[in-house]
Structures are given as C-alpha cells and as structure tokens.
Structure 1
C-alpha cells in the first residue's frame, strides 16, 4: 500500500537523497554537482515556496513530488487554472513498483479538489522516455508551444497538460 501525504521537515534529507539518486541513476546528469542538481536538492527551499508531498511504502519515503500554483515562487509554467507538478522522483530501489504512477494519480485526485484548478501541468526532460511514457499513459498531452528553458542551465524541458 502506498500512502501519499504532505512532506514534513524530517523527510527533507530523504527527499534530497531520493532526488539525487533517481536523477543520477536515470542518467539525466553525470554529476550531483550539475547546477540544476544542486538546485533541486535544496528541499527546504522548495518546501518554503511550494507544496512538497511524499509517497510512503512500508513507512519508508519512496518518492516525492513538488506542487505549485500559478504565481507561487516555485511555479515555472503553471497557468492560473493549473496545478504544476515538478520534480517527481522515485527512489531507485523502489522504481518499477508503481510508486511513480500512484503519485501522479494522487496529484490528479488532489488537483480535482482544489478550487479554480482545471488541469495538471508538468515539465520533463526531452530524453526522459520513461517519464514521457508514464504521462502519456495517464492521459497527459504534450503542449510544445509551452516548452520551457531552465534558467542558468542548458536544459530545455517539455510541457505536458492533463485536463481534469
């Protein structure tokens, strides 16, 4: 069973580890010293600017995701009617166990309860094929005209949106 809940400060170190390990294991970056990696490992900073949620299995944090609304500091692409989902990560030891899909489905269900939210949006890397497959399988559509460059990096992220 997977429990999806708001992150607590005592979760931050584990979220940082999972974030680092999952991005490096997937080969998205060659080093934890990459500027984007250093940015996304700042979990406390993220939690001050957005909602952070974790997925637990057997009382262990196995995944995390950051949620933001239009106008919030951590929202990069969210339109006024969207909940933006960012930095969805699953511990490499727990990958391929359904946690990523369960987290996306939980975000969708949470978004349906929020006033003024009619869609979930997200960004993902161009070559992150498993992420693209997951989002497409859950009904997300590519919105290429909204693709977004990460400031101070060479990274260009692709945008997806799911109408609720």
Structure 2
C-alpha cells in the first residue's frame, strides 16, 4: 500500500479540517441540522489535538488523505469508552481517496495503538442510517455491536456503538 499512517502535525491541521468536512458532507452526516455545529467541531483540529492523539493517512506525495482521533478514557472527546478501552472518533477519508483502504488503515492503526497501550477493547460509534459502509468495514475487522451503549447526541441522530475485544 502506498499510504503511510503517522501522527498528525500542526501543518496537517488545515488539510484535516477540509477533508473531514468534505467526507462528512459526502456521506450525508452533516444533514438534518447537524451541519453548522458539527462541521465547526470537525474544523477545530487544533482543539481536537489537545484532547486526543491524531493520526493521518498520507499519500506518497505527502497529501493528507484521511485522519482519526484516538481518545483515552476520561478524555473530553471520549463518548462511550470505559476504563481499559480505547475509543476512536472522527475517522474521515477525503472523498477522492475513498476505496483505497485509507479508512481501514486508519482503523487498524487505532487497534494497533490500543494493543500497544494494553487496552482490552477498542470502541467506536457509527451513524445508524448513513453509516452503512463504515459499519460493513468494522464488521469485517471483527467489531461487534454493543447496543447498550447506543445513544442520541441530538434529536434525529442515532449513534450505534461497536466494540473489538483485544
């Protein structure tokens, strides 16, 4: 694969902000009144970097293709993880780079990081109605549903919880 996964640097933040919003718009996740508020959160990469470890997927020419935030328990960005679990959020791949394995490479890097930290599991959330491709990818990686942690951050947005036991 011609993709490198590495820690994000401040020089990457503008590209991460742009690709995150583009990816979320492309798959319908910024619809239903979520657009303004959540788009602003996606654009605040510097703020996200204060509360999580950011990884980027970079093409051989240096182009940032995707990113993900790794959240430890107790992190301000953590939503569903418990002690001993690593959570990742805001996994986004630029629409032009989708289908190249970028999302899987980022998710795998998160799982690898969880193993390095001695975590017992990795947890994530996906949108119910628009997250079908992501759900299929996570299932193929061995993630299983944990419905008791499903939740609604706002009206009309259902988040489904997933876990990969390590």
Q: TM-score, normalised by structure 1?
A: 0.93
2:149 aligned residue: 146
Query: What secondary structure sits across from 2:47 in the alignment?
Result: helix
Among candidates 85, 89, 99, match of residue 88 of structure 2:
85
RMSD between aligned residues = 1.5
Q: CA deviation at 1:29?
A: 2.2
Which among 84, 106, 109 is matched to residue 109 of structure 2?
Answer: 106
1:63 is aligned to 2:32: no
The residue that corresponds to 1:9 in the other structure is 10
How far apart are residue 76 of structure 1 and its match? Answer: 1.1
CA contact (8 A) 1:36 1:153 kept: no
3-state DSSP class of the match of 1:34? helix
Within the candidate set 152, 156, 159, 1:157 is matched to 159
Gaps of 5+ in 2: none
Cα deviation, residue 32, structure 1:
8.2
Deviation at 1:66, TM superposition (A): 0.4
Q: CA shift at 1:39, angstroms?
A: 1.8
**TM-score normalised per structure 2:** 0.92
Whole-Å Cα distance in 1 between the matches of residues 49 and 111 of structure 2?
20
Structure 1: tracts of 5 or more residues without a match: none
Aligned residue for 2:124? 122
Q: Is the 8 A contact 1:123 1:158 kept in 2?
A: yes
Correspondence for 1:42: 44
The answer as to whether partners of 2:30 and 2:38 remain within 8 angstroms in 1 is no
Q: What secondary structure sits across from 1:84 in the alignment?
A: strand
102-111 or 136-145: bigger deviation: 102-111
Deviation at 1:135, TM superposition (A): 0.4
User: What is the rounded CA distance, in whole Å, between the counterparts of 1:138 and 1:148 in structure 2?
Assistant: 23
